Amino acid sequence: MPKPLRTALLLAPSAILMGVFLIGLVRLVSSSLMIDGQFDITHYVDILNRPDYVQMLGRTLRTAALTTLFSLLIGFPTAYYVARYKGNRNFLLLLIIFPWLVSIVVRSYGWMVILGPRGLINSFITWTGLVERPLRLMYNDFGVILGLVHVLCPFMIIAILSVLMQIPRSLEEASMSLGGRPAYSFRTVLLPLSLPGILTGITLVYLMATGAIVTPLLLGGLRNTMLGTEIFQEVMHFFNYPKAAALATVLLVTALVVVIPIQIFERWLARRLREGESH
Amino acid sequence: MKLTRRATIAGALGSAAALSLPGRLMAQSNTLLHASWGGGVGSTWNAAFADPFAAETGASVRIVDVPNPEAQLRAQAGNPQYHSAIGTFVQGVNMMRDDMLETFSIDELPEMRNIDEKYWLKTEDGRLAGITPYFAYYGIAVNTNEASLEDFTSWRNLADERWADRLGMTRPIYLSTYDLTMLSKAAGGDEYDIAGGMELLEGMARNVLIVSNSLAQQNTMLERGEVAAMPFYSTRIWAMHEAGVQHVDMIIPEEGALLLPYVVVAPKGVADREQVAEWLNYIAGAAPQERGMAISGYIPANSQAVATDEIIAKIGMTYEELLGRLYQPDWGHIAANQQDTVAAIDQMLARF
């Protein structure tokens, strides 16, 4: 097979994927701005004039940020442990991705059995007499964030793990043999070198958390509606596609405000690391 | 070979056309496709309607479980893949107003003569835009281990502070059409005057532990006693009783329960129109509706349907007595105002 043809065939799937994505994006924005064939920003004005939507947007971004933070705090040590594990690493990886084999809905119901008012924890603490009434462990921010961390943490772990696996253990050992304490070695060697994986993980988890629908629906309460849920309602119940597109565009833009600086930083960092390698 | 932009686009369009082929072939075959909700609804439709129809007429109907049949019809508007679909009455009204439905004369659907005209989905010129297969009703479901039925003799009880964190509630999309209508009635108004209902709804929302429109989740919450009570569908309580769950029961409060008529519609431009009319007319008949009642507690809309002693014992009264305790609002008015009402509820809830 001639090389140009082979190259074209190899590039075709990604080109199609990107093309479909771009067309979808353009359609999304244009359908939010065109009403009956006329340019109209009514939906955006309506969204910004509705205090509940603004509140919902703030809640969505806050929940996504907290989910990302907790996923990182859990994901980094886990990825580090797996990367340095000397036994059967594939088994650990299997354990990490195991939750993906179960649907989000089933996993969310699992949390209900554990955290609900009649769940395992509340049944135990009320039985011991520690509290008179069950604690509210779900149907609030805590429940939503817990559920999202459970769902999204594997993405963080795998993103970080892919980078940690490429960092030779000898670099840490060299740092420590030169007198660096573990915390110092971590801060000056491991953390900078693993930043590309961390940033990728942050981007993935943050973006997926901003668009979450099922988990906030099942584990959230009255005050935990997120923008993804609202978009779902506009599409599935009202069939108001222009308004759903406007909400999605607002969500996209606000998410990009966070993600673009991360991407710029990631590129800068990659360049610095390449320069470091060449010296 | 040079991969040009034109070749790439042609390839993508070809793939899309190939992917849509199965759906097209299916719609062109003689099998009628009926879109139904899942969660047990589809199996009832097979046993009560589709299988007997096939046995009697030789025509086959395939019941396809989808999350939201209305969404399917809207997505395929102008190029329908389904021959019929079930929906709530409000959904039927909305689709009829958007001119999405095939209409029929009463002579094409003669069984509709046995269904009270106030339950007809009909256009301004009197044509039928769908048929009414059955009703359910919306009352208050109570976990009797957590509360007693007497605690909820009025819809007003849901706003009582004693139920703080002990109630479940559906999402605004259904609150706007169902709960608010009955709460308005309890407050002395109705679907036209919802001010008092909004106040009661606010009180009820303050007591709510969980908001959900997943029927499976609501079932679980009630069964496990995570919530003591919540407004719920009679058919779900029927299914729970049939499954042996006797500690969840339903009360029709003194203001009545909300009558929920369902509709089966055919998308505009549907293929095999005559066969579809035959199917719709069959659904409107008494015999399949009686089977639907026996299986899932769907109350027949056809006045010729007879309740057996067993059915009467299960619902605790005759069909006539039951219908006398149900409230039939102006669904057209509710549908026309639904978006505004949902927005008002959303904003009310955001103040918490």
Which DSSP string corresponds to A99-131? Answer: GGGS-HHHHHHHHHHHHSTTSHHHHHHHHHTS-
What is the average per-residue pLDDT within B35-57? 92
CA of B110 vs chain A CAs: smallest distance (Å)? 32
| Shortest CA distance from A229: residue in chain B | B171
The confidence score (pLDDT) of residue B29 equals 55
Helix (H) or strand (E) holding B140, with range, is strand B134-143
Q: Which two tokens stand for residue B153?
A: 């003799």
Asked if A116's CB is within 8 angstroms of B224's CB, the reply is yes
Mean pLDDT of B311-333: 93
Helix (H, G, I), strand (E, B) or coil at B222: helix
**Sequence-distant (≥ 6) Cβ neighbours of residue B142 within 8 angstroms:** B148, B149, B151, B152, B228, B229, B248, B249, B250, B251
**Looking at domain A51-226, does it have CATH number 1.10.3720.10?**
yes
Residue of B nearest to A50 (CA): B347
Instruction: Give the least confident one: A221-230, B124-133, B153-162, B257-266.
Output: A221-230
Mean pLDDT of B296-300: 94
At B248, the amino acid letter reads V
For residues A172 and A189, the answer to whether their CB atoms sit within 8 Å is yes
Does residue A107 surpass a pLDDT of 90? no
Reply yes or no on whether the pLDDT at B220 is more than 70: yes
Nearest to B251 by CA among B329, B163, B137: B137
Nearest to B75 by CA among B20, B28, B113: B20
B210:A223 CB<8 A:
no
What single DSSP character describes residue B178? Answer: I
Residue type present at position B141 = A
Average pLDDT along chain B: 90
The per-residue pLDDT of chain A, averaged, comes to 90
pLDDT over 90 at B238, yes or no: yes
Question: Do A221 and B208 count as a contact with CB atoms less than 8 A apart?
Answer: yes
Query: Which domains can be identified in chain B, with CATH numbers?
Result: 5-130+260-320 (3.40.190.10), 136-256+329-350 (3.40.190.10)
Look up residue A116 and give its two tokens. Answer: 């609900």
Residue type, A186: F
Please tell me the distance in Å from B301's CA to the nearest CA on chain A: 26
Picking from B48, B324, B327, the residue whose alpha carbon sits closest to that of residue B178 is B327
From A118, A222, A233, residue closest to B349, measured CB to CB: A222
Question: Identity (one letter) of the amino acid at A19?
Answer: G
pLDDT of A100 > 90? The answer is no
Q: Do B165 and A237 touch (CB under 8 A)?
A: no
d(CA B285, CA B278): 11
The first and second tokens of residue A137, run together, are 């462990």
Q: Which of B60, B37, B46, B89 is nearest to B295 (CA)?
A: B46
Across the interface, whether the CB atoms of B225 and A118 are under 8 A apart is answered yes
A217 min Cα distance to partner chain B (Å):
7
The pLDDT, as a whole number, for residue A279 is 60
Closest approach of A221 to chain B, Cα-based (Å): 5
The secondary structure element, H or E, covering residue B36 is strand B32-36
Residue B14 has pLDDT above 70, yes or no: no
* Rg, C-alpha atoms of chain B: 22
Q: Beta-carbon neighbour count of residue B287 at 10 Å?
A: 17
Question: Would the CB atoms of A16 and B12 count as touching at under 8 Å?
Answer: yes
CA B108 to chain centre: 24
3-state helix, strand, coil split of chain A in percent (to 5) is 80, 0, 20
Mutate to test the interface with B, among A52, A115, A224, A229 (most CBs of B within 10 A): A52
Gap between the Cα atoms of B1 and B11, Å rounded: 14
A132 and chain B: CB distance < 8 Å anywhere?
Answer: no
| pLDDT tens string A216-229 | 888 887 777 899 98
| Cα separation, B243 vs A196, whole angstroms | 54
Which long-range CB contacts under 8 A does A211-214 form with residues at least 24 apart? A211/A251, A212/A63, A212/A64, A212/A148, A212/A151, A214/A104, A214/A105, A214/A108
Q: Which of A78-87, A176-185, B53-62, B104-113 has the lowest mean pLDDT?
A: A176-185
Please, what is the Cα angle at B266 between B265 and B272, to 5 degrees?
Answer: 150
Q: What is the pLDDT of residue A173?
A: 83
* B12–A20 C-beta distance less than 8 A: yes
Q: What is the mean pLDDT of residues B223-251?
A: 94
Check residue B298 and report its DSSP letter.
Answer: P
Q: For A9-50, what is each residue's pLDDT tens digit?
A: 999 999 999 999 999 999 999 999 988 888 999 999 999 999
Q: How high is the pLDDT of residue A65?
A: 96
- Residues B85, B90, B92, B97, Cα dihedral to 10°: -150
Closest alpha carbon to A247 in A270, A268, A230: A230
Q: Is B209 on the interface with A (CB under 8 A)?
A: yes
Compare all CA atoms of chain B with the CA of A23 and give the residue at the minimum distance: B9
Confirm or reject contact between B350 and chain A (CB < 8 A): yes
- Residue B84: CB atoms within 10 A of its CB come to 26
CA dihedral over A33, A34, A38, A43, signed as positive or negative: negative
User: Nearest 5°: CA angle at A61, between A195 and A100?
Assistant: 65
Tell me if chain B has a CB within 8 Å of the CB of A8: yes
Of B11, B74, B220, the CB nearest to A112: B220
A118 with B3: Cβ contact below 8 A: no
B217, B222, B228, B232: CA torsion to nearest 10? 80
Which residue among B208, B214, B339 sits closest to A222, beta carbon to beta carbon?
Answer: B208
Distance (Å, whole) CA B294 – CA B174: 27
pLDDT per position as a tens digit, B115-145 = 999 999 999 999 999 999 999 999 999 999 9
Q: Round to whole Å and give the CA distance between B214 and B228.
A: 17
Q: Write down the domain spans for chain A.
A: 51-226
Q: Which of A40-49, A104-113, B17-26 has the highest mean pLDDT?
A: A40-49
Kindly indicate the confidence band of residue B18, based on its pLDDT and cuts at 50, 70 and 90: very low
A17 near B CB under 8 A = no
- Among residues B122, B137, B210, the alpha carbon closest in space to that of B169 is found at B210
- How far apart, in whole angstroms, are the C-alpha atoms of residue B136 and residue B235? 6
What is d(CA B40, CA B240) in angstroms, rounded to the nearest whole number?
Answer: 12
Pairing of strands B32-36, B61-65: parallel
Work out how many CB contacts closer than 8 A connect A with B. 82
Candidates A4, A15, A55; nearest CB to B350: A55
Q: Partners of B326 in the beta sheet?
A: B257
- CB distance B318 to B165 below 8 Å: no
Chain B neighbors of A233, CB-CB under 8 A: 171-173
**A110 close contact with B: CB closer than 8 A:** no
Position B19 scores a pLDDT of 46
